[in-house]
Chain A
Amino acid sequence: MAVAAAAARVWGSSRGLGQAGLLLLRRPWARGLARSHPQRQEQQHFPSLDDKPQFPGASAEFIDKLEFIQPNVISGIPVYRVMDRQGQIINPSEDPHLPQEKVLKFYKSMTLLNTMDRILYESQRQGRISFYMTNYGEEGTHVGSAAALDNTDLVFGQYREAGVLMYRDYPLELFMAQCYGNVSDPGKGRQMPVHYGCKDRHFVTISSPLATQIPQAVGAAYAAKRANANRVVICYFGEGAASEGDAHAGFNFAATLECPIIFFCRNNGYAISTPTSEQYRGDGIAARGPGYGIMSIRVDGNDVFAVYNATKEARRRAVAENQPFLIEAMTYRIGHHSTSDDSSAYRSVDEVNYWDKQDHPISRLRHYLQSRGWWDDEQEKAWRKQSRKKVMEAFEQAERKPKPNPNLLFSDVYQEMPTQLRKQQEALARHLQTYGEHYPLDHFEKKSSRTPGAGLPHVSLTACRSSKCPGSDLTASSR
């Protein structure tokens, strides 16, 4: 910059020599005014002496016609898919040719999640848990992407990615423990249901405020790059959260700081009641990527193989090239936003039924499996029974367990509990001695089975002790 400016001063703003001199200086090997000798210039052949923009802010040509760029929303970025809606491979060269065992794991993860969703949603209706969010219709986005990652890749989710944990064999017992806030909950009963976290499975604890995970994920990716960890970070968010300022911050940081991160947007058509037509006016989220200099793709989120292929390739390149990738997975939120929502207030039952019946990731994969001879109605029936049984067993167990000791209300806020807080803890204990009959103490553990404040950081990464994390076995039928 300084060199070019100096050159302009020496030669003035006259077109010929001055501009050529400046052009010379822009060559990577130019090292100062000494090189820009008139003699040298004849050795460079510039196709034209038309001046080029010298602005530091953009690398582009001049244009002398006034023309606004028309955003392309009518035929936007195309949707990559591998299977049609009937589960048939369209282009055989895109078939990932995954082995039967792996594809069955996809199917069982998605269906087990679906079964767990139905039971836990119902349990909220019955007042057994306080809140729940289902994943209906988006199971393909979770499982397809999770399967394409390494087990140690770090996951930052929003709140509708339970299938990623399910694929990583997070046990039903612990899903339920978190929803019930019982003694087995690694989160010690502190967060609302579906706020899962598992350090062992590299799944950062869910945090309620939207999009806060995006810049955090970028920071984690930067640290992974510095550590030469051969690790990618994946960051999930919805198309609604993408409107938050934090999303802009995250994208821009990831690109400028060259971070190995996959931004995975679940575009499911709604942010609570807000349809995409009121969320944005451009070509979805994928079209924003190039604005930041980010490699981007749009995929059919209900096609588990398309999600898999895109994530697999994004992972390979993000780590190899240290750059971010943006995947916009188009899908549909079949369920309500949460148990606090009734979506019939803002969308038609017909619309929902269409997606449930005609374009569901689970049925599309089932058709694929059946056409390969890897699955049939009998196995379907047996698996439904088995998976429901597993879920019900875990559910009944979770119900029976007590809640953690109320002392855990005060621990893990600080490394060492300050006196002021200890006094509050003691005040509560004294209060309960006198007024205990007015509190549901029978449901809470009498003595804490955990060491309070044992060096656990308060935010996010809660330890999931391996003794309490039995791997769930999707093939065994016992327990």
Chain B
Amino acid sequence: MAAIAATAGRLLRLRAAGAEGQWCRLRGAGLQAASAAGDAAQRRHVAHFTFQPDPEPQEYGQTQKMNLFQAITSALDNSLAKDPTAVIFGEDVAFGGVFRCTVGLRDKYGKDRVFNTPLCEQGIVGFGIGIAVTGATAIAEIQFADYIFPAFDQVHVIREVASMAQEKLGVSCEVIDLRTILPWDVDTVCKSVIKTGRLLISHEAPLTGGFASEISSTVQEECFLNLEAPISRVCGYDTPFPHIFEPFYIPDKWKCYDALRKMINY
């Protein structure tokens, strides 16, 4: 799960708890905590990895530390400031968005530039295309409500695996955050494989037909003789994304570490 979404979730929760009291407070005794053991047992894991911030880059001048959704808000702010034709639209963007990516923008740029649309994704996309046809800049937010979280933080899992590998196996890893799919950075990946001879690819999407298969095919085409072991893919299973079984579904650091270990010993 994205740490950002988890943080947002926590923020929203605290605020809601305050407002909640106004009209929905339970009368009488609140819920008692279950027994101590039960209580610890039932606490849900918010994130399956430890968040590690990016190191501060030196080449861009002054920087400001932000989490992902703050970075998105900042990018949108910059876009609307620089480009007078740019508009942002989608479901619930006016009040700041369910992922808090448009907070403050409507107040700053006006309701004709940051606005809600009716609830219709095909409409939002079509509308956006139309805006772009005229040469203006369309920024559409597609929400999918709050039950599809983007796996922005997969790279943190891989970073943790890299430090585990160093610690436990004396193996050094190059971590590549691919960032794009079409096109994707073939050169960086192949250069790294030529150097190391082994490749592990991980994503939360299901294994079959997932993007790891694309990377794997291309790498074996380009770097076949450099490979010391079969390319390892640590992905979601070929099932719908589950609710209660999430801890077992996620390609977490233990699965990645195990795959790495097997690759080293191949």
Contact = CB atoms under 8 A, between A and B. Distances in A.
Interface of A: 118-119, 121-123, 125-128, 130-131, 134, 136, 181-182, 185, 189-192, 208-210, 240-245, 271-274, 278-280, 334-336, 338-346, 349, 352-353, 356, 388, 396, 399-400, 403-404, 406, 408-410, 413, 420-421, 424-425, 428, 431-432, 434-435, 438-440, 442-443, 458
A303 B128 CA distance: 41
Contacts of A400: 38
B181 interface: no
B236 to A, nearest CB: 10
Nearest to A400: B38
Interface in B1-37: 9, 12-13, 15-17, 19-20, 22-24, 26, 28, 30-31, 33-34
Interface in B32-74: 33-34, 38, 41-45
A118 B23 CA distance: 11
A440 B244 CA distance: 11
22 contacts: A119-B31, A125-B17, A182-B244, A190-B240, A192-B147, A245-B120, A245-B122, A271-B119, A272-B145, A274-B91, A338-B146, A339-B13, A339-B16, A340-B12, A345-B15, A399-B34, A404-B244, A406-B245, A409-B242, A409-B245, A410-B239, A443-B42
Contacts of A278: 94, 115-118
B92 A274 contact: yes
B96 interface: yes
A48 to B, nearest CB: 45
Contacts, number: 173
A128 B34 CA distance: 10
Which 6 pairs of residues, A with B, have the shortest CB-CB distance?
A: A181-B244, A189-B244, A243-B118, A240-B119, A344-B19, A342-B16
A349 B118 contact: no
A250 B124 CA distance: 20
Interface of B: 9, 12-13, 15-17, 19-20, 22-24, 26, 28, 30-31, 33-34, 38, 41-45, 91-92, 94-96, 98, 115-123, 144-147, 207-208, 237-240, 242-245, 247-249, 252, 254-255, 258
A438 B253 CA distance: 10
B9 A274 contact: no
A353 B23 contact: yes
A346 B94 CA distance: 9
A46 to B, nearest CB: 46
B24 A272 contact: no
A443 B23 contact: no
Given A336-B16, A400-B38, A434-B258, A409 B249 contact: yes
B249 A345 contact: no
B14 to A, nearest CB: 9
A122 B207 CA distance: 37
Nearest to B99: A340
A244 B38 contact: no
